[in-house]
Amino acid sequence: MIESGILVMNKPQGFTSFDVIGKLRGILKMRKLGHTGTLDPMATGVLPVLIGRAARACDILPDERKAYRAGFQLGTVTDTQDSTGTVLETHAFAGITAEQLRDAFSALTGEIQQIPPMYSAVQVNGRRLYELARQGREIERPARTVFVERITLTAFDAETGTGTAEICCGKGTYVRTILHDMGQVLRCGACMTALTRTAACGFTLDDAYSFAEVQQAADEDRLEPLIIPTDRLFTALPALTLSAGQTRLYRSGVQLDAGRVCGVCGDAELYRIYADDGSFLGLAALDRTAGTVRVYKNL
């Protein structure tokens, strides 16, 4: 039986992230599952699912960058900021060039202020925005600071006003809002027509499986090879391996003398930590003031 790890799913269109969890609970015969970031039903692609004890890592992921491939249509503004919504405005886009698009995308990179769309799971005054939107209500939303690492225009047809872009961004960034805002910069409007998440938490589409593949593996009792060890989430952190005695103390919650733990370095505060038998224990924190290594989170 699988106790812990990561199963990277290739989310199909039409499923919410919670739908994916629900279906996997049936396939894996497990209740304790979590995901690392919501994808809209329209979107497809990489959705890492945390299994068993790995679900405890949801709130401590060190790498929350995500990469997307998005399609867009110039000249159309919708209430959802994508092509599934109701069209609110249409505008001419003749004369818009690829160079103008690149300039608009450049203005939307780096640390930017982004207003979440009404059709989103963001909470304002205890209410989900999409709940208010479905009631026909629109309220003022505070802008949030998000980070967009880069936007690359990969295709553009000036005649139809359609194109694709690859976007690398941080947690909480709405890709459809980036495309909507691009349309506002160009004064012709734009909406998202397709979205595929190509990378998340260090995993790519090459790591991802379909429901059919997971179901077949479960039927053939060979799920284990599909599961990625939990410590892959934290490869950016330095590692500490404890002695047998230190392992016993650490598992009991005892803080260890940092000077006696091999591998502690001067500039790192969080570490992957392993038992003397090589098993992954979780994350440890260095308390510089006390000179100790303590449990940060057991996984």
* Active-site annotation, residues: 40
Q: How far apart are CA 264 and CA 31, in angstroms?
A: 37
Report strand pairing: 203-204 vs 87-90.
unpaired
Question: What are the CA-CA distances from residue 10 to residues 4, 47, 101, 215, 223 (Å)?
Answer: 19, 6, 30, 13, 16
The beta-strand segments (E) located in 66-216 are 66-74, 76-78, 87-90, 110-114, 123-124, 127-128, 144-157, 162-169, 190-200, 203-204
- Read off the tokens for 94: 């003749």
- How many CA atoms lie within 13 Å of 206's alpha carbon, on the beta-carbon side? 2
Tell me, what DSSP letter sits at residue 296?
A: E
Q: How far apart are CA 243 and CA 92, in angstroms?
A: 69
Q: How many CB atoms lie within 10 A of CB 140?
A: 6
Is 195 in contact with 42 (CB distance < 8 Å)? yes
Q: Please, where are the H alpha helices in the chain?
A: 17-28, 98-107, 129-134, 175-186, 211-219, 244-251
Helix H or strand E encompassing 271:
strand 270-274
